[in-house]
């Protein structure tokens, strides 16, 4: 009987692979291969694992060696390259391989029954991933776009490129035409059909682009991968990619770990976007993994943005990445909007709106044009308070306030999801006159409706789009001209191509100017440029308004606003990089953050102190353990320890040794390590 020893990884925090025996169920069963899934019992559980090695013998005594129950032969094995990507991610982020490789697969593949898998495979054999095919006209690229598309499609080997193009410069068109060239090329050649991976930051941006791509590439199978798909769908799309049927794969960050055997180009749209960073579990940067993947495969990768991350900008300055530039808007006669500051000390707002902004809104209403008001704070008011005794609506479980949600008649904590009825009177002194303080999108909406009863006002934020499909419906109604004034949080800031929008009002951006987070100004700048970029994307109509962005601020002199007005990312980025160099901050230093949480803060701090002293370290700066700025969330106290090193390999080597020591420490604190942290 055929038999061998399999090294198998499982989705557990245990840092190793496990040996299992395999015996052919009958003579006809094929030998197992690396990258195949297997079903087995682990402890008392039955689980699905992945084969990462095969050998003739094991160090485990024969009587202790268990047998696998079944090898999933129906699924072609994951490739060596894919496993290498997972291994790199596991090593880099200091996680066991199994915790990277298995959660990266659709749930249905890891299910204990293969019913869904078999059904999915059958469906794909019959029909592939469905696509509708109404071809559309393809825009004639302008010379700068053409040059960029040719450069991308013509690149050979690992070629990281920043496509640096102002908002509305037609970056999407460049990606798609470069993709078309590569697909056409492989069609004619003897190679396998090429695959192209396009990553986008947010789910709510994908439908528009997805429709666009399907129309552009009739007959080409397009797969989408994001967390909004139902499990069955997700598996089918994943399989289409894995089997090479899908040629274009459009997805959010999780798609970077998809199995793509014929990958020839990676595109990362809006590469600066924070949502490329996973903020729990394996805290990976999809952008960084994508660059590694392109390097491993020796293929081009395009990072597109109007406001690149400083890391990427730094790489273009050092020459590591090539820079392609699109300086103008693609639509003829569409120009970048004029940006102005409104000094809120001089023009005192009522209902959150200065008189200048109100008259600008009026003008748009009269001309039948759309306006967008950007306020990055959902809810009605961030807190309610009692004037009589000073009571404020603190969350009892977090270091934060309960936010007033008026339409829902609730107080909600945005950190632990605690919900309470709105108290009728002050819980401490009985005063019935509780006041909302500050303004969120709901309150702005209320004020606007009162001010412009005839206007069609729509609010888009996480609360208004909870139901599946409602975000898409909301965006559609803006595109269809059914909305006059759109109110939105960062959900509306990115990517959308609203053709009839000529005014953007930015409310209350100042708080980020004084954040303790050194990345706050980089983010604010990108956010303002992005939201400003929603205005004036079509040519100005005759008798229509010139597109305009109005920023309401108490600090009109702040240099960040001056840079936004000048649409001058270059200078702003260069000065930020200088600051970072002087202050020895990333990208001039490499960081890792050890986090600990416990019922009591002391337990967390104690663990971090032990962690700081459990190892010799040279060339590493170890900061003092401190409570996190929001210390308590859901009745758990949190603390952190930052470490820094001027060399990435130096940091990596240290972390590996350190992790081994950390695992020995006995503590009641829960802890985790983040490499290249972004929220410190
Ligand atoms: P970006 O992603 O750079 O902000 P988009 O890709 O959304 O810009 O393009 C902005 C608009 O310009 C879209 O409406 C797109 O259809 C249009 N567009 C792109 N390229 C061209 C072109 N060569 N000629 C005319 N319109 C174009
Ligand atoms: Zn009171
Ligand atoms: Zn809370």
Q: Express each pLDDT in 264-292 by its tens digit.
A: 999 999 999 999 999 988 999 999 999 99
Model confidence at 390, in pLDDT bands (50, 70, 90)? very high
Beta partners for residue 67, in sequence order = 21
- Name every residue whose Cβ is closer than 8 Å to that of residue 612 and which is 6 or more positions away in sequence: 622, 624, 625, 641
With 60 as the cut, is the pLDDT of residue 99 above it? yes
pLDDT of the residue at 131: 55
Give, using CA atoms, the residue closest to atom 10 of ligand 1.
168
501 and 607, same domain (yes or no): no
> Residue 666 burial by CB count (10 A; 0-12/13-18/19+): exposed, middle or buried?
exposed
Q: What is the pTM of this model?
A: 0.93
Ligand 1 pocket, mutate which of 331, 498, 532 (most atoms under 8 A from CB): 331
602 and 530, same domain (yes or no): no
Residues with CB under 6 Å of ligand 1 are 139-142, 145, 165, 167-173, 330-331, 497, 537
With 70 as the cut, is the pLDDT of residue 504 above it? yes
307 and 362, same domain (yes or no): no
Residue 512 domain-assigned? yes
Give CA–CA dist 186/177, Å, rounded.
14
Instruction: Report the CATH number that the domain containing residue 502 is assigned in CATH.
Output: 3.40.50.300
Residue 412 domain-assigned? no
Instruction: Report the CATH number that the domain containing residue 624 is assigned in CATH.
Output: 3.30.70.600
Q: How far is the CA of 174 from the centre of ligand 1 (A)?
A: 9
| Domain end point (choices 574, 605, 624) | 574
| Domain end point (choices 516, 545, 574) | 574
Residue 167 domain-assigned? yes
Give, using CA atoms, the residue closest to atom 13 of ligand 1.
170
Residue 430 domain-assigned? no
Q: How far is the CA of 335 from the centre of ligand 1 (A)?
A: 12
The residue among 257, 211, 212 whose CA lies nearest residue 234 is 257
Residue 130 domain-assigned? no
> Residue 310 burial by CB count (10 A; 0-12/13-18/19+): exposed, middle or buried?
buried
Number of domains in the chain: 4
Residue 156 domain-assigned? yes
Q: How far is the CA of 417 from the centre of ligand 3 (A)?
A: 6
Residue 126 domain-assigned? no
pLDDT of the residue at 205: 62
Give CA–CA dist 584/520, Å, rounded.
16
DSSP string, 212-257: HHHHHSTTS-EEEE-TTS-HHHHHHHHHHHHTT--SEEEE-GGGGG
222 and 320, same domain (yes or no): yes
Stretch 561-572: mean pLDDT, rounded? Answer: 92
Ligand 1 nearest atom to the CA of residue 533, by list position: 4
Residue 109 domain-assigned? no
Stretch 670-679: mean pLDDT, rounded? Answer: 94
548 and 451, same domain (yes or no): yes
pLDDT of the residue at 188: 65
371 and 244, same domain (yes or no): no
Ligand 1 nearest atom to the CA of residue 172, by list position: 6
Between the CA atoms of 442, 444, 450 and 453, what dihedral angle is there, to the nearest 10 degrees?
Answer: -90
482 and 598, same domain (yes or no): no
- Considering only the C-alpha atoms of the chain, give the largest distance between any 2 of them, rounded to a whole number of Å: 88
514 and 556, same domain (yes or no): yes
515 and 373, same domain (yes or no): yes
Tokens of 337: 């909007």
Stretch 24-51: mean pLDDT, rounded? Answer: 93
Q: How far is the CA of 535 from the centre of ligand 1 (A)?
A: 13
Boundaries of domain holding 527: 338-378+440-574
472 and 538, same domain (yes or no): yes
pLDDT of the residue at 1: 74
Look at residue 153 and give its three-state secondary structure. helix
550 and 504, same domain (yes or no): yes
352 and 311, same domain (yes or no): no
């Amino acid at each position: 009987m055929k038999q061998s020893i399999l090294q198998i990884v499982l989705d557990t925090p245990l840092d190793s692979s496990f040996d299992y025996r395999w015996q052919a169920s009958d003579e006809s069963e094929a030998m197992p291969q690396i990258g195949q899934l297997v079903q087995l019992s682990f402890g008392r559980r039955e689980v699905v694992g992945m084969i990462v090695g095969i050998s003739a013998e094991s160090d485990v005594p024969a009587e202790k060696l268990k047998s696998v129950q079944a090898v999933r032969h129906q699924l072609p094995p994951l490739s060596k390259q894919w496993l290498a990507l997972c291994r790199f991610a596991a090593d880099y982020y200091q996680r066991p391989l199994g915790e990277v490789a298995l959660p990266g697969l659709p749930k249905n593949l890891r299910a204990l029954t293969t019913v869904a898998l078999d059904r999915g495979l059958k469906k794909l054999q019959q029909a592939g991933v469905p696509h509708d095919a109404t071809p559309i006209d393809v825009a004639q690229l302008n010379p700068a776009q053409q040059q960029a598309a040719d450069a991308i499609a013509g690149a050979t080997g690992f070629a990281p490129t920043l496509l640096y193009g102002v908002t509305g410069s037609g970056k999407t068109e460049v990606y798609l035409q470069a993709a078309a060239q590569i697909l056409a090329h492989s069609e004619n050649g003897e190679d396998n059909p090429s695959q192209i991976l396009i990553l986008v930051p947010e789910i709510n941006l994908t439908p528009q682009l997805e429709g666009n791509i399907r129309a552009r590439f009739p007959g080409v199978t397009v797969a989408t991968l994001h967390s909004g798909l139902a499990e069955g769908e997700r598996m089918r799309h994943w399989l289409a990619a894995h089997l090479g049927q899908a040629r274009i794969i459009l997805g959010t960050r999780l798609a970077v770990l998809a199995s793509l055997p014929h990958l020839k180009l990676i595109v990362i749209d809006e590469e600066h976007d924070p949502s490329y960073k996973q903020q729990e579990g394996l805290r990976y940067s999809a952008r960084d993994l994508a660059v590694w993947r392109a390097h491993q495969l020796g293929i081009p990768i395009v990072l597109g943005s109007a406001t690149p991350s400083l890391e990427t900008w730094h790489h273009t300055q050092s020459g590591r990445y090539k820079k392609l530039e699109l300086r103008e808007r693609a639509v003829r006669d569409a120009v970048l909007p004029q940006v102005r500051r409104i000094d809120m000390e001089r023009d005192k707002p009522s209902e959150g709106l200065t008189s200048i902004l109100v008259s600008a809104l009026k003008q748009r209403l009269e001309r039948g044009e759309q306006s967008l008001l950007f306020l990055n704070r959902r809810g009605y008011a961030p807190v309610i308070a009692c004037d009589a005794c000073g009571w404020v609506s603190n969350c009892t479980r977090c270091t934060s306030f309960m936010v007033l949600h008026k339409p829902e008649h609730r107080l909600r904590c945005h950190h632990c999801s605690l919900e309470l009825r709105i108290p009728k009177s002050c819980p401490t002194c009985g005063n019935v006159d509780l006041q909302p303080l500050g303004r969120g999108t709901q309150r702005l909406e209320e004020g606007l409706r009162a001010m412009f009863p005839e206007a069609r006002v729509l609010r888009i934020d996480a609360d208004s789009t909870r139901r599946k499909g409602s975000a898409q419906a909301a965006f559609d109604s803006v595109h269809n001209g059914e909305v006059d004034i759109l109110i939105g949080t960062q959900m509306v800031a990115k990517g959308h191509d609203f053709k009839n929008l000529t005014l953007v009002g930015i409310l209350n951006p100042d708080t980020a100017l004084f954040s303790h987070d050194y990345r706050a100004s980089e983010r604010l700048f990108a956010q303002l440029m992005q939201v400003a970029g929603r205005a004036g994307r079509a040519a100005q109509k005759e008798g229509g308004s010139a597109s305009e962005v109005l920023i309401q601020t108490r600090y009109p002199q702040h240099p960040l606003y001056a840079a936004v007005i000048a649409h001058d990312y270059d200078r702003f980025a260069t000065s930020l990089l200088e600051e970072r160099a002087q202050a020895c901050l990333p990208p001039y230093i490499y960081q890792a953050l050890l986090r600990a949480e416990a019922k009591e803060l002391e337990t967390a701090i104690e663990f971090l102190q032990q962690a700081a002293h459990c190892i010799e370290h040279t060339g590493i700066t170890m900061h003092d353990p401190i409570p996190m700025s929001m210390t308590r969330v859901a009745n758990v106290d949190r603390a952190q320890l930052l470490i820094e090193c001027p060399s990435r390999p130096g940091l990596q080597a240290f972390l590996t040794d350190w992790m081994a020591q950390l695992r020995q420490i006995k503590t009641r604190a829960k802890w985790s390590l983040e490499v290249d942290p972004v929220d410190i």
